[in-house]
Amino acid sequence: MQNAVLIAENLYWLGGSDRKLSFFEGLYPVPRGISYNAYLLMDEKTVLFDTVDSAVGDAFLNNLEAALGGRSLDYLIVQHMEPDHSATFLRTVEKYPDVTVIVNKKSAQMLAQYYGFCGERIRTVAENEELCTGKHTLKFLFAPMVHWPEVMFTYDGISGTLFSADAFGTFGALEGSLFSEDYPFEQAYLPEARRYYTNIVGKYGVQVQAALKKTEGLSIERICPLHGPVLRKDAAKMVEKYRLWSGYQPEEKGAAVFYASIYGHTQSAAELLASALAQKGISVCVYDVSVTDCSELLAQAFRVSHLAFASVTYNGGLFPKMETLINDLKAHGLRGRTYALIENGSWAPAAGKIMAETLSTMKEFTQVGETATLLSAGKQEQEQAILALAEAIANDIKK
Ligand code: FEO
């Protein structure tokens, strides 16, 4: 059985979805699975863009054979060496022994490291080098650290197609359609695209901006990423999101409240803060860090301008899940956020100080309001402190 799909003139999608995978990269939950895409351009020469993860290797090879329709494979362009796109490389070059493998220097090195593949079948290309395949001319744009050092995009000016490697991809298996406009953008596509971006390449904002700059001025009809649907009508919208995310600019002036609570008292404080903010007309969302996966918390922290952290003190330190979140924000280089703190401790509250120690070292992070301290359970005095904190956050958002 084959399922190669024609997505534009002479351009096929080949690939498949894995709905059994629990954690992408062993780290990120993918409750809706993930897709691995490869593409085949049928010009005077036949050109394959990447291979796929071993989970969908058989389906991919069947699709490739069907789409080729008896023709040989002339070129395999390796845009990204991470094994979710290269695990089927050896099977592909063994099946098509005359194929020329197009790589940059870094990919060539990784092909040798991963698969022991080297030799005359490799052709190394330089930045901005072009490959004429007949009617089409493909231009290679290097995009280092989006999300590995060897990554390159390929631009086909004839069809206006940007083959973007990991960039503009998303978590989630394909639900039949190969085009993002067939998915509810705000409800389904965007949240998972944001979680994918922020966690996978969120740290490399500078490098993403450099890659975006190389695509400025290109006429783009469609973006073909290695994960998730092809972007056509949504392409400009996603480029704009990437511009924001890579610049660490919030999408929305609003607040996210993250709390760590064991017996509910810190949660009550967080809920009071969120309720007071909402009553002041502030867009706010609330997350229990023990329940929501850190990858989603990170995505939300990228999305909004103001972050409130409410945490119990634990073993004289910070509650582990809150510690993980704050360290993850720092590790991903998030910057330019305003934060507020609530701490709790029954005999030696220290959470506020510990959170501030890390947050204050983050670029352009500014605390708003006074840290509110609960001693076991909130009383009227703490309610007033939290309402004052809500006032300070709301005023800062509205200014
Ligand atoms: Fe989808 Fe960086 O691999």
C-alpha 24 to ligand 1 mean position (Å): 10
- Name 311's bridge partners: 260, 343
Q: How far is CA 93 from the centre of its chain?
A: 30
Q: Of all atoms in ligand 1, which is nearest to the CA of residue 36? A: 1
Which is nearest to 325 in space by CA: 353, 301, 345, 357?
301
Helix 320-331 to helix 351-359 angle (10° resolution) is 10
Contacts of 385 (CB under 8 A, 6+ apart): 370, 372, 373
Q: Of all atoms in ligand 1, which is nearest to the CA of residue 166? A: 1
- Are 226 and 82 contacting, i.e. CB atoms less than 8 angstroms apart? no
- Encode the chain (399 residues) as per-residue pLDDT tens digits: 999 999 999 999 999 999 999 999 999 999 999 999 999 999 999 999 999 999 999 999 999 999 999 999 999 999 999 999 999 999 999 999 999 999 999 999 999 999 999 989 999 999 999 999 999 999 999 999 998 999 999 999 999 999 999 999 999 999 999 999 999 999 989 999 999 999 999 999 999 999 999 999 999 999 999 999 999 999 999 999 999 999 999 999 999 999 999 999 999 999 999 999 999 999 999 999 999 999 999 999 999 999 999 999 999 999 999 999 999 999 999 999 999 999 999 999 999 999 999 999 999 999 999 999 999 998 999 999 999 999 999 999 999
Q: Whose CA is nearest to atom 1 of ligand 1?
A: 166
C-alpha 3 to ligand 1 mean position (Å): 22
Q: Of all atoms in ligand 1, which is nearest to the CA of residue 147? A: 2
pLDDT tens track for 68-98: 999 999 999 999 999 999 999 999 999 999 9
C-alpha 104 to ligand 1 mean position (Å): 17
Give the per-residue pLDDT at 84: 98
Residues in the ligand 1 pocket, defined by CB under 6 Å: 80, 82, 84-85, 147-148, 166, 226-227
Give the per-residue pLDDT at 147: 86
C-alpha 345 to ligand 1 mean position (Å): 42
Put residue 137 in one of left, alpha, beta given phi > 0 → left and psi -120 to 50 → alpha.
beta
Give the per-residue pLDDT at 182: 96
Question: How many other CB atoms are there within 10 angstroms of residue 285's CB atom?
Answer: 14
Q: Of all atoms in ligand 1, which is nearest to the CA of residue 165? A: 1
C-alpha 227 to ligand 1 mean position (Å): 8
Q: Of all atoms in ligand 1, which is nearest to the CA of residue 200? A: 2
Give the per-residue pLDDT at 103: 98
Q: Whose CA is nearest to atom 3 of ligand 1?
A: 82
C-alpha 82 to ligand 1 mean position (Å): 5
- Are 312 and 260 contacting, i.e. CB atoms less than 8 angstroms apart? yes
How many Å apart are CA 91 and CA 117, to the nearest integer? 12
Give the per-residue pLDDT at 162: 98
C-alpha 254 to ligand 1 mean position (Å): 31
pLDDT tens track for 111-132: 999 999 998 999 999 999 999 9
C-alpha 204 to ligand 1 mean position (Å): 14
Q: Of all atoms in ligand 1, which is nearest to the CA of residue 169? A: 1
